[in-house]
């Protein structure tokens, strides 16, 4: 019998977690034969709502689920965890300044980093979903110094999936036929969705996406803007932010981290920069990565046009500014 793995989801009473926990429990992410102990963390006022989520999970009657722990105590939630989905964060409220938002999130991710440092397995794999995701992940890692920096990541897979979906809609093929789309940089409107190295399989033939689309103007303008603004468009339509698609993307990210990427294909993940592609080391930057044995490596040697380089510089500068502001809050 396979030992259960311990998986924590923070922000567990929220809307992304509502889709995500079901996916975790039914085996989509860690495999159909992997038993799960699920740890759910939220803040004290949400414990009643969280109990409702626990009841529903119980009522799903999923045999993989060995135990569910719902708590408002990070020291309990992170105990011996193998995988952490950091979904909970302070949302921006009306009249809140960026500085206040950063300050609130630094406080949350500092405390949770310290708990991860103390209680999680040293091999834990962490994805930060809560915004500002890249910077929150940096803060988390800073306060969990006993855990390798490479074990922390942030989610840009939703942006990758959105980019793939746009190309698939444009070409009338299913999204699995499109490989190697890249999201560079910040999970914000400065991100750079890049299809310069992407391919599409059409009627059994693999061709560059650019050759299939044959519209450089679309790829440099409308496509990029659509992906960058997609989250805002969903909010406008739904009056709520992306949740189902965000949960699916968080699952895709963690699935590939545990199971590995296929062949030469890559996926995009926010990971700690080692200076690759001229990005300042120490920023949590979304790169194309390949994954083997639960370790990722940043794909090296991809050519960047002048247009692409400018986009990378812009998003890296934004991330640097955001991180410096967050670090200043840490010092307070
Ligand atoms: P919700 O507001 O529905 O849920 C957030 C939950 O987090 C709430 O239950 C809240 O009580 C909890 N929470 C707040 N502080 C906490 C703390 N200190 N410890 C534990 N739990 C805490 O938001 P939801 O729609 O689920 O979105 C969650 C986060 O994902 C937001 O920060 C959102 O901006 C971010 N997103 C990130 C995306 C990405 O691609 N990286 C895309 C989707 C989403 O916008």
Q: pLDDT tens digits, residue range 208-227?
A: 999 999 999 999 999 999 99
Which pLDDT tens digit goes with each residue over 88-120? 998 877 777 777 888 899 999 999 999 999 999
**Going by CA atoms, what residue is nearest to atom 30 of ligand 1?**
130
Ligand 1 in reach of 29 Cβ (< 6 A): no
Answer for the pair 286, 191: CB distance below 8 angstroms, yes or no: yes
CATH number of 157-322: 3.90.110.10, 3.30.980.10, 2.40.37.10, 3.30.1360.200? Answer: 3.90.110.10
Nearest to 158 by CA among 256, 90, 218, 243: 243
Binding site, by residue number, is 42, 92, 98, 105, 129-131, 162
Give the mutation target among 16, 111, 247 for probing the ligand 1 site: most ligand atoms within 8 A of CB.
16
Q: How far apart are CA 251 and CA 22, in angstroms?
A: 10
| Distance from Cα 243 to the centre of ligand 1, integer Å | 10
Domain boundaries, the chain: 5-154, 157-322
For residue 332, the model assigns a pLDDT of 67
Check if 253 is active-site: no
Which pLDDT tens digit goes with each residue over 46-77? 999 999 999 999 999 999 999 999 999 999 99
Answer for the pair 277, 304: CB distance below 8 angstroms, yes or no: yes
3-state helix, strand, coil in the chain (%, to 5): 45, 20, 35
Please state, rounded to an integer, the average pLDDT across all residues of the chain. Answer: 96
How many Cα atoms within 13 Å fall on the side-chain side of residue 38? 29
Q: Given the cut 0.95, state whether the ipTM is greater than it.
A: yes
Which pLDDT tens digit goes with each residue over 37-47? 999 999 999 99
Q: How far apart are CA 329 and CA 327, in angstroms?
A: 5
Q: What is the mean pLDDT of residues 200-211?
A: 96
Question: DSSP label at 175?
Answer: G
pLDDT surpasses 80 at 4? yes
**Token digits of residue 110:** 């500092």
Which CATH superfamily hosts domain 5-154? NAD(P)-binding Rossmann-like Domain (3.40.50.720)
Q: What is the mean pLDDT of residues 177-190?
A: 96
């Amino acid at each position: 019998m396979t030992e259960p793995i311990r998986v924590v989801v923070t922000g567990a009473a929220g809307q992304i977690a509502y889709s995500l926990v079901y996916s975790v429990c039914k085996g989509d992410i860690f495999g159909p034969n992997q038993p799960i102990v699920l740890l759910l963390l939220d803040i004290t006022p949400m414990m009643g709502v969280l109990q409702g989520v626990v009841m529903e999970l119980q009522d799903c009657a999923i045999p993989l689920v060995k135990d569910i722990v719902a708590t408002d105590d990070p020291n309990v939630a992170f105990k011996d965890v193998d995988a952490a989905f950091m979904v909970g964060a302070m949302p921006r409220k009306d009249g809140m300044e960026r500085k206040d938002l950063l300050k609130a999130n630094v406080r949350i991710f500092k405390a949770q980093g310290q708990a991860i440092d103390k209680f999680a397995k040293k091999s834990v794999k962490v994805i930060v979903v809560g915004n500002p995701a890249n910077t929150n992940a940096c803060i988390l890692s800073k306060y969990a110094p006993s855990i390798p920096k490479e074990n922390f990541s942030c989610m840009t897979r939703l942006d990758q999936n959105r980019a793939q979906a746009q190309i698939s809609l444009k070409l009338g093929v299913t999204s699995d036929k499109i490989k190697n789309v890249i999201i560079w940089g910040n999970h914000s409107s400065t991100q750079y969705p890049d299809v310069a190295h992407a391919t599409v399989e059409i009627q059994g033939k693999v061709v560059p996406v650019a050759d299939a689309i044959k519209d450089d103007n679309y790829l440099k303008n409308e496509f990029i803007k659509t992906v960058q603004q997609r989250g805002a468009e969903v909010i406008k339509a739904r009056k709520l932010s992306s949740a189902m698609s965000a949960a699916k993307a968080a699952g895709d990210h963690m699935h590939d981290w545990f199971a590995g990427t296929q062949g030469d294909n890559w996926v995009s993940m926010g990971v700690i920069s080692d200076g690759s592609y001229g990005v300042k080391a120490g920023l949590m930057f979304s790169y194309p990565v390949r994954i083997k044995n639960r370790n990722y490596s940043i794909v090296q040697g991809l050519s960047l046009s002048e247009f692409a380089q400018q986009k990378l510089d812009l998003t890296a500068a934004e991330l640097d500014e955001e991180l410096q502001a967050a670090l200043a809050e840490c010092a307070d």
